[in-house]
Amino acid sequence: MKKRFISIIAIILIISLLPAASFAAPKSAPLVNISGEVKAEYKVADVLGTILRIYPEFLPEILDLVLPKDLALRDITIEQLSKLDGEDVIQLVDKLGLLDLILENFNPKKIIELIPNIPKEMKELLIKIVPNSISNQISLPGTIITVKDDKGRIVTMKIADLKGSYKLSIPGNYEVEYKAHGFETKRIIASQIPDTILLIP
């Protein structure tokens, strides 16, 4: 017991003789208050491509809707294009600007309504989610928002509400990750986050 007491005294004396050291607490970046929205940008080509992924047999009917009525050799063109991958064909039609032409008369919802043979339940769902214009932003509720510190450790997680809205108050050097099923994940430093986050399908 006496030896242990002497050892403790010796340690205290040694520490007292060491030069004073100053330890600076790490400085955290200033807090940023974020009040934003998460949205998805949809295009008609993406919507039609999704339909064709599920129902590839609808390609001739969709082509009949989107190709100009005065197109030379129209029937043969539709017949030949219908032998190709539907999604690739729609992307090609979009690049040629033909979807812009059809939208002068119909919005995407109208196109969905006009496509025959789509099951009623599928048609009703598509009409609800399809935008009114060729390129539009719609809210993306349920987006998982993960905040990581400057060492990559998860600090907090949130889920965007029904309007795609969320709020954060975090250091500006933290990273925020936005993840939604079927969309590309986006990561942004907190101090650089815009009011609206756009996720691409």
- Model confidence pTM above 0.75: no
Q: Which residue, among 67, 76, 75, has the nearest Cα to 96 in the 3D structure?
A: 67
Looking at the structure, tell me whether residues 193 and 178 fall in a common domain: yes
3-state helix, strand, coil in the chain (%, to 5): 40, 25, 35
Amino acid at site 152? G
8 A C-beta contact, residue 135 and residue 45:
no
For residues 57 and 105, state if they share a domain. yes
Q: What's the confidence (pLDDT) of residue 5?
A: 36
Which structural domain, as residue segments, surrounds residue 183?
31-40+139-199
CA pair distance 39, 176, nearest whole angstrom: 15
Question: What pLDDT score does 14 carry?
Answer: 45
Q: What is the phi-psi region of residue 157: left when phi exceeds 0, alpha when psi lies from -120 to 50, beta otherwise?
A: beta
Distance CA 188, CA 177 (A): 7
Q: Give the pLDDT band (50/70/90) at residue 103.
A: low
**Do the beta carbons of residue 42 and residue 50 sit within 8 Å?**
no
Arithmetic mean of pLDDT, 42-69: 83
What tokens appear for 198 in the block? 């756009």
73 domain-assigned: yes
One domain, residues 153 and 94? no
Q: Show the beta-strand stretches assigned E in 45-174.
A: 135-139, 144-148, 154-159, 165-171
Which CATH number fits the domain that encloses residue 184? 2.60.40.10
pLDDT of residue 105: 58
Tell me the per-residue pLDDT of 153-198, one tens digit each, with 9 for 90 and over: 999 999 999 889 999 999 999 999 999 988 899 999 999 999 999 9
| 129 and 143 belong to one structural domain | no
pLDDT category at 132 given cuts 50, 70, 90 is low
CA-CA-CA-CA dihedral for 90, 142, 194, 167, to nearest 10: 170
pLDDT at position 67 over 80? yes
CA distance 171 to 184: 25
Are the C-beta atoms of residues 108 and 47 closer than 8 Å to each other? yes
> Is the predicted pLDDT of residue 200 greater than 80, yes or no?
yes
Taking the C-alpha atoms of residue 84 and residue 197, their distance in angstroms, rounded to an integer, is: 35
